[in-house]
Structure 1
Amino acid sequence: MTPMLHHKFSLSPSPIPAEAWMPSEVRFLSVWEIPQMMKCPLMGTCLSIEDHQRLLKKAGICTRRMSPPALHEAVMTHIEGPTKAARRIDAFFRKNFESQALPWLHASEPEIRKLWDQGLENGDIERPLYIIACRSNISSALQFHAFGILHMLGHTAKRDLMECRRTITKLENALASEGENLRKIQREQVEERKRMQGEMGLLQEHLRALSHAPSLSSEKKESPRETLDLLNERVRRLKEKNQALTERIRKLEAERENQRRSLEPLETRPGAGPSPMTFLVPDAVPWNTSVSENSPPPLMDKRILVVGGRPCMRARYRDAVESAGGHFEYHDGCIHGGKQTLESRVRRSDLVLCPVNCNSHGACGLVKEICRKHGKCLRMLDSFSCSAIASALSKAAAPSSPESENTHSPPLIAGNRFSAMAP
C-alpha cells in the first residue's frame, strides 16, 4: 500500500553495520518504535476499516464524519509516539499476533523470508508481516523487500479491482439489455397467446356450428344439370316478382296522377277565378257576397296555427288561411328537438288546427297540453286535406250555438273563443 505523504523514509536501506542495529535483547517492538517505512503497510494490512474506527473511538477520538482515508491518516498520526491511541493499537497487535509470532522470535531471516513467501502464496501475510515489522533484530533489507512487494501488490490490486469493476459494469449493462429483451419477448408472447386464444374461440364456434349443421355426406349430391335447373327456377321467380313490382308501380303512378288532377282546381289564385273556399266548402258563400267591402274579413286578422299535415301542402294551407282573412302559422309536428318552438307558436296564435291522421300520438298529446296551459282554442281534425282546413276555418269564423258546436264540431280545448265573434 502507498504510504502517506508525511511518512519520511528511504526506499533503499542505508548500509548500517550489523553491530549498530542488532539489539542486545531480541523482542517485538511497540507500534511507535517500528521503522517508519513499515508502519503504513502494517496498519493497512493488519487493521480493517472497522478496526481503525473502533480503536480510535476507544482512544476518545471522534470518528463519526471520517472517511476511510481520514481514519488511516488519524491512525498514522497517533502512532508517531506513545499516545493513548497508539497504546490501544499496540495492545490490539500483541493480543492478536504476538502469541502466534513468539515461536519465530529467534528464527533466522531465511526462515522468516520462507514464511513470508508461503504467506504470499496462501494469502496469510499478517503474521509474517508483523514479525518482519516488529521484531527488533530484522534487517532493513528484509523489511524493504516486504515493503516493495506490498507496494506493488497495492498497484496490482488496484488495477485488478478497476478491471473487475469494468467487467461488472459491462455485465450489468448486458444483463439490463437481456432483461429488456426478455420483457419484450414476454409481451410478444402474451399478445400471441391472446391472438391464438381468439382464433381458438372462433374455431370452436365454427366447430360447434358444423356439429349442429346437417351432415353433407347424408345429402344427395346434386349434378350440374340439377344445379342449373335450380338457378333457372330462381331466375324465373325473380322475373315474376319484378313484373309484379312493375305493375304496382304503374298503378301507383296512375293513382298519383288522378290525385294531382283532383287537386288542380286548388292551384287557382284569388282574382284569377273562383275562391279556394268555393271548391273546398260547397255550402260556403264567397266572402265578398255577404260582407261589404269596408267590413273586416271573417277571421278578423286572427293568427291560425296548423300543426302537422303534409309539409308539401303548406302553400295551400297558407292560401286557405290568408284568403279567409287570417295570419298563417305552421309547425310540422316534429317534437324531437324539444317543445319550445311549438309552445312559442301556440302562445302567439288564436286558433290551433291539428290533423290527427298525420301526427304522432305524442305530438297530438303535446299540442293539447300546451293549448290547455295557455288557454288556446284547439280543433282536432280528422284529415290533413285542404278541404278539412277550410271547413274548420269557416266554422270558426261563423257564429254558432252551443248545440251546433257540440253536435257537429270537433272538441275544443279551453272553450270556443270565436263563439262571440260575429261578422
Structure 2
Amino acid sequence: MSVLFNHKPPLSFSLPKVDQLPLAESVVVVRARRLKTWELPSMFHCSIVGTCLTTAELRQVLAKVGDIDAKMATDHALHSRGVRAAGQHDIASKLLNKALERRHDRILKQFSKLSTASEVRSQWNVAVDDGDISGAYWAVMSHPASDRSLRQEVFGEVHMLSHLVGSSSRLDLARLRKLQLDAEAKDDKIARQEARLQAAANNQACLKRRIDELEADLLRRQTVAAEPARADNGQEARLQQRLQVAAQRAGGYDERVAALEARLAEAERRAAALAEENGILQQELDLLETALTASEVAAPAVGHSNELQTLLYVGGRKNLFDRLRKLAEHQNIDLMLHDGGVEDNLSLLPGMVSRVSWAIFPVDCISHSAADMVKRLCRESEKPYLPLRSASLASFAAAIAQPLAAAE
C-alpha cells in the first residue's frame, strides 16, 4: 500500500476497539486517491490505453504535448506512443490521465463509493453485464482498494475478451470482404457484357442501314430502264444473294443479343443476391459491435417487447455459451442451451421444446439428427424455429434482435 501514499501524507485515523467491531469484520479499509498510470505496473499500460481511450482522444493528447506527427501517424504508432507516455511521470502522462478521468467520469463516481476489493469486483461484474467495459476497466485499475489479484483477474478478462471479439469479427469481416470483391468482379463482368451488347447493337444498326441502302440501290436499278434489265439480271441476283446473307447475319446478331440479355439478367439477379447477403452480414456485424463494444451508456434492448421470452439454442460451440446468455439477457430473453447431442442427451429436447417460446440452431454446427428433431418437435407443438447462418455471436445477435414472428 506504500505506493498509495507517495504524494499525500498518511491519513490520521483511530482504530475502534476490538470489542466494538462486528464479528464478520476483520480489516479496516483506508480510503485513498485513485492511482495514476505511471503508478501502475507497465504490463497494464497497453490494455488501458487501447481499451479506455479512443484513437481520436489519444491523438488529441499527443497533439497537445507537441507531437508534430500526431495527426498523420497510424493508429498503431499512436497506440505505441500512448503506452510509452503512460509509464512516464510528465506532462504527457498527466494529460493522458485527465483524458481518462474526463471520459469515464460517470462510472468513476460509481466506483468511488466502494471501499473493498470484493465490492470493486462485484461492481466490475455488473459493468461487464451492462457492456460498459472500458470505463469499468480504468475504474478497477486505478481504484485504491483494488489489490494485485483483482487487477490480474480483470486484466485477464479484458485480454481474453479482445481475443474473442477479434476472432469473431475477423471471420465475418473476411467473409464480407470476399463478398465485396465478388460483387466488384460481377460488376466488372456486367460492364464488359454491356459493352459487348452495345457493340453488337451498333453492328446490327450498321447492318440495318446497309440493308436499307442495298434495297434502295436495288429499287433504283430496277427503275433505270427496261432494256438493260437483262444485263442487270446477274447484278440483281448478286445483290439479292448479298441481301439474304445480310439478313441471315442480322438474324444471328438478334440471337446473340437475346443470349447476352439473358446472361445480363442472370448476372443482375446474382448481384442482387450478393448485395442482400452483404446487407445481412453488415447487419450482423453492426449488432455484434453494439452488443460487445464498450459504450458510455448501456443501450436498451430492441427488437422485443418487455415480456420475457424463452428461447432454446441447440448446437453451437460451448465456449460461446456464456456470451450467448449475456446477449440474450440484454434482449430480455431466458436462454436454454443444448449442445445438440455432443454431451447432452437428445432425449432432453422434447421437454425443453415444451418449455420455450421458440427455438434456433446454427446449421453449420449441429448434427442432422438434432436439427431434424428440433424441426419436428417445433412443428408438432406449433412453435416457431429459426436456422442460423453460422454459430457465430453475430448470427445469434441478429436472430434475437428480430421480432419473434420472423422465425419459421
TM-score of the pair, normalised by structure 1:
0.38
Structure exhibiting the larger radius of gyration computed from Cα positions? 1
Identify the structure with bigger relative contact order (alpha carbons < 8 Å, sequence gap 6+). Answer: 2
Task: Kindly indicate which of the two structures has a greater share of residues assigned to helix.
Answer: 2
Structure 2 length as normaliser, TM-score? 0.39
